[in-house]
Amino acid sequence: MDKIAVLGPKGTFTELATKKYLETQSLEMELAYYPSMRKTFEAVGSNCKYGVIPIENTLDGFVQIILDLLTHTNLKIIHEIVLPVRFAFVGNSMCIKDIKKVYAQFKSENQCLDFLEQFRDVDIITTASNSQSYEEVIKGDDGVGAIIPIHMLHNRHDFRMVIENITDSMDNETRFIIVSQHLNEEVVANRSWKTFFVVSDDLDRPGLLCDILNTFSREKINLKSIISRPTKTGLGNYNFFIDIDGCYQKDEHVREAIAHVYDKYNIKILGSYYRVLPKEDEKK
């Protein structure tokens, strides 16, 4: 059976996204868990056929290391899936004032800052994963609390304190990408395709970014996002990550615009893809 690389450990939002993705595609694959985003990427093409990784969150923006990994590997985005992200607070005390220590994964912490404001004199301990935060609180030590994904409440219901929906925004979502060694060459109608690419130019000059944007504006191509990221080759040198509507292999105006940029700059296609919908969303 083919394997799919998952940012682990078990119980993460990435695992949930992976299971929903496999369901939407009617695929049977073995989930292989990896401890870091880099190792998840490295597994694709060697031990695993695909990989699933978070790339963007409503409250926390893009995951910067993923942009670097996409730039420096040959993996391509073939699909994306978006999940609502909700957090709960669980604790081993009956009252908030009795909490002395809070465990939170670094991204989860950034998405629950309003709730954490009340813990001014409490140690906030950053963990590597939501599962680790969960494991710390189920040890049962008095005065210990944790921020965990709300779906983890299904695992255990006898915490002395449970506060649901502590996320800063109820509109919070995370976008996950599915990566492969090969571009998506599906012929799929009635899908909103996007193309993601990175442009780099070590010889930065005035008007560089404006020229790129004008190229797509002339072709009436909608830009979904544009992110700058240091090239790490010197101060002031940046890669520009651009997400646009349309599939560059199939849409002529997209292909022509990208070809124009190719003539002037270093450009790398990171994937053409569309969003897959969980079964429950397809019925709406």
> Does the structure show a pLDDT above 90 at 262?
no
Q: Exposure string (b/e) for 146-176, b if CB count within 10 Å is 16 or more?
A: bbbbbbbeeeeeebebeeeebbbeeebebbb
* pLDDT per residue as tens digits for the range 21-62: 999 999 999 999 998 899 999 999 999 999 999 999 998 889
* pLDDT per residue as tens digits for the range 200-258: 866 566 777 888 889 899 989 999 999 988 877 777 778 889 999 999 888 899 999 99
> Does the structure show a pLDDT above 90 at 128?
no
Q: Residue 230: is the preceding peptide bond cis (ω within 30°)? A: no
Predicted local distance difference test score (pLDDT) of residue 66:
94
> Does the structure show a pLDDT above 80 at 157?
no
* pLDDT per residue as tens digits for the range 82-120: 999 999 999 999 999 999 999 999 889 999 999 999 998
Which H or E run contains 212? helix 208-218
Selection from 217, 197, 218, 219 nearest residue 265 by Cα:
197
**What is the mean predicted confidence (pLDDT) over 69-94?**
95
**What is the mean predicted confidence (pLDDT) over 14-22?**
95
Query: What is the distance between the terminal CA atoms of the chain, rounded to a whole angstrom?
Result: 33
Mean pLDDT across the chain: 89
> Does the structure show a pLDDT above 60 at 155?
yes
Q: What percent of the chain has pLDDT over 70?
A: 95
Selection from 4, 7, 1, 78 nearest residue 45 by Cα:
4
Predicted local distance difference test score (pLDDT) of residue 202:
61
> Does the structure show a pLDDT above 60 at 284?
no
Most confident of 56-70, 145-159, 227-241: 56-70
The amino acid present at 264, given as its one-letter code, is K
3-state secondary structure of 236: coil
Predicted local distance difference test score (pLDDT) of residue 198:
93
Please give the Cα distance from 83 to 57 (Å, whole number).
10
Q: Please, which pLDDT band fits residue 188 given cuts at 50, 70 and 90?
A: confident
